[in-house]
Amino acid sequence: MKKKIIQKAMSLFLEYGFKSVTMDEISEQLGISKKTLYDHFDSKTNLVKVTTTYVFDNISSTIDKLRAEKYDPIEETLAIKNQVMRHLKNEKSSPQYQLQKYYPQIFKTLKNKIWHKMYDYCIENFRRGIKEGFYRPNIDIEVIFRLYYYGMNLLKDQKVFPVQEFSNQDIQDHFLEYHLRGIVSEKGLNRLEELLAQQSKL
């Protein structure tokens, strides 16, 4: 039951936001009493904390599995983006903004985890990409990582990309292509265009 609660809460939080969804709505969606819900989670704050950890752990595990597949660096980057988007497919209401505003300590802890996970993955990807000739040898990987990381966070700023005007999928696709075109070598550009052409046929 506890896992079912987490999964349902995750789906609702991603779709409607962490503040908007109430414990009453979660129990109603699950067809259980509010008392049963509180038997498993003594507060909404605790449920939010557990749910965000659950989402992070799932995405982190997916990234590790894809890295183990030994794709080339460009294919790996695209594959990870696609899988992360699947995990966050219900994200429609900028839940990150509500998490930051109403649960700042949980948000801070989560952001720290995301930073370290992305740093570990991206730096290794950049180094391998340079070594294998897919990325330009003169890129500063520390600078590129920060541009990439904070650029990704900007995509979630509704003042810049209001959900009523921009599809999350579209801006993620455009941003990743923009990022990769900025760092690839001629070999990498050929590979990137090959992979983008393949994706466009799906």
Give bridge partners of residue 135 from the DSSP assignment. 184
Q: Return d(Cα 7, Cα 1) in angstroms, integer.
A: 10
Residue 171, helix vs strand vs coil: helix
Residue 135, helix vs strand vs coil: strand
Structural domains of the chain in order of their starting residue, each with its CATH number: 2-200 (1.10.357.10)
111-160 pLDDT per residue, tens: 999 999 999 999 999 999 999 999 999 999 999 999 999 999 898 888 89
Instruction: List the end-to-end C-alpha distance of the chain, in Å, as a whole number.
Output: 37
Q: What pTM was computed for the model? A: 0.88
181-193 pLDDT per residue, tens: 999 999 999 999 9
